[in-house]
Amino acid sequence: MTQTEPSIFTRIIDREIPADVVYEDDRVIAFNDIAPQAPVHVVVVPKTAAFGNVVELAAADPALLAHLVKVAKLIADEHADGQFRLVFNTGENAGQSVFHVHAHVLAGGLAEGTLGSK
């Protein structure tokens, strides 16, 4: 899917849109989700818009994917005793609404058999 306008995540990275940033380095940014689906719900986004989904990222830059997972673990260590669910939506029919790869770190009392509901 080709985008003509920068995604909301690119606009957050560029500081055009405010976000509650909980982690940032030269490769990724992580911020609290504005519509949390769990007590802890942080979105981790690579600072490149080159990849629309996790499959593209894994194929082209596995080191960046590994870094994203490492950051998810750091966030879980800080906010959820190291326990977390990591969710990537790939495709519109799977719930992906922003086509700039990103991961949802969900934690805090999630029940087995739920996808992230509180």
Give catalytic residues, as residue numbers.
102
Question: What tokens does 25 get?
Answer: 């380095």
Separation CA 79–CA 71 (nearest Å): 12
Query: What CA–CA distance (Å, rounded) separates 110 from 64?
Result: 27
Integer Cα distance of 4 and 35 in angstroms = 25
